Structure 1
Amino acid sequence: MPDRHPPTRTAADLDGCVEDLRAALAGHDITLPSLRLDLPTFAGAYALPVGLVALGNCNTVTARKLTAVLKESGRAPNPLLLDLDLLAVPMAMPSLRLTVRRHVGAPCADVELCVTELVANVIRHVGEGAPVRVRVFRVFDGRIRVEVTDPNTRALPVLLHATGDDEAGRGLALLDAVALRWGVEQGETGKTVWCELDECVVA
């Protein structure tokens, strides 16, 4: 039987394939920052961890087969709760919090805090009006993962230890206090700042 997913070469097809694979891996508590990065760019922008294991490159056919195996192995990715494109502006924050609450299914202050702080960080360090993508979904063990993607590859978040008189530097400290873990994934055309939190009690 011919492959239902023949090899494709368009950027949209590749991006969709990578997003499917990333979501399938997230369902197994696996994050691969190097997905969809060319090796020279990745090597120049990423601090390699000790004991790095290179999994190698694969084409879209192989990536889709891997995605299918992950989904069928008994721990399929949990449903996507929110996938939203918006402009990072202060006036969007109240409706963003409401949207997060509605899609998560119940008030969840920590998730709302992380989403708004990550978007606020884009406003402060990338620029007001920058386009962002906000994603909230469940991962392994019921944890909730928040991702905010912006088009700037250079303005990386830095955890500061603000003093009582400081007017800035508290956003990431708050996120660091409530999240189980957080990090940054750098891509060719932007970056994604993510965090994972304990599951909310939903109705």
Structure 2
Amino acid sequence: MKGYLRGGGPPMLLASLFLPARAEFVSHLREVVRRVLVMAAAEEDARYSAQLVTSELVTNVVRHSAVASNATVGLALSRDGATLRIAIHDADPESGEPSEPDEDRESGRGLLVVEGVSDRWGVDRTLVGKLTWCELTAWPEDARAYS
């Protein structure tokens, strides 16, 4: 049953933290994701995909919250069976939608990358902004065990 691990419990929170929404923290959050997923024995390809998605989503927050000097970005990693869920919270209520990137621009492809790498992704409104999330299969041996 979706929502419960093999032991019958709810999804497991692997990590959660908030940092200032500044460019110098993007690499820090990417490293947090890498270390947590190594410790959680996630598949190597999933670790790289998770770092890429985290980098893209956090960079979007940094770019779009540049006017607010006290803006923060929240990261939560959780596991539900074989699935890793990456959730990025920010105070900007505007929902990001993937768009056709301008060929002459270096940016504007982040959500297309997230869409291409993730099994599922979406944006949920919160009381103070939004939660952009994605899911990846990070423990494929568990997926086989439940099929």
TM-score bracket, shorter-length normalisation: 0.7 to 0.9
2:30 corresponds to 1:97:
yes
Which amino acid counterpart does residue 77 of structure 1 have in structure 2?
A: P
2:81 corresponds to 1:171:
no
Secondary structure of the residue aligned to 2:27 is helix
Which amino acid counterpart does residue 90 of structure 1 have in structure 2?
A: A
How many angstroms apart in 2 are the aligned matches of 1:180 and 1:167? 25
How many angstroms apart in 2 are the aligned matches of 1:200 and 1:162? 32
Q: What displacement does 1:182 show?
A: 0.7
Q: What displacement does 1:126 show?
A: 2.5
Q: What displacement does 1:127 show?
A: 2.4
Residue of structure 2 aligned with 1:86, choices 5, 8, 19: 19
How many angstroms apart in 2 are the aligned matches of 1:75 and 1:178? 29
How many angstroms apart in 2 are the aligned matches of 1:133 and 1:163? 29
Q: What displacement does 1:180 show?
A: 0.7
The two structures have a TM-score, normalised by structure 2, of 0.78
Counterparts of 1:180-191 in structure 2, within 5 Å, are 180-191=119-130
4+ runs of 1 displaced by more than 4 Å?
none
Aligned length: 132
Which amino acid counterpart does residue 115 of structure 1 have in structure 2?
A: T
Q: Residues 28 and 76 of structure 1 are in contact (CA less than 8 Å); yes or no, is this contact kept in structure 2? A: no
How many angstroms apart in 2 are the aligned matches of 1:174 and 1:126? 20
Equivalence for 1:197? 136
Q: Residues 146 and 196 of structure 1 are in contact (CA less than 8 Å); yes or no, is this contact kept in structure 2? A: yes
Q: Residues 28 and 77 of structure 1 are in contact (CA less than 8 Å); yes or no, is this contact kept in structure 2? A: no
The one-character-per-residue Cα deviations of 1:32-57 (angstroms, maximum 9, x if unpaired) are xxxxxxxxxxxxxxxxxxxxxxxxxx
Which amino acid counterpart does residue 166 of structure 1 have in structure 2?
A: R
Equivalence for 1:54? none
Equivalence for 1:152? 92
The one-character-per-residue Cα deviations of 1:58-81 (angstroms, maximum 9, x if unpaired) are xxxxxxxxxxxx79x953224211
The two structures have a TM-score, normalised by structure 1, of 0.58
How many angstroms apart in 1 are the aligned matches of 2:110 and 2:139? 21
- Return 5+ residue gaps in structure 2 as ranges: 141-147
2:71 corresponds to 1:138:
no
Q: Among the aligned pairs, what percent are the same residue?
A: 33
- Larger fraction in strand: 2
Secondary structure of the residue aligned to 2:133 is strand
Q: Residues 81 and 138 of structure 1 are in contact (CA less than 8 Å); yes or no, is this contact kept in structure 2? A: yes
Larger RCO (CA under 8 A, 6+ residues apart): 2
Equivalence for 1:50? none
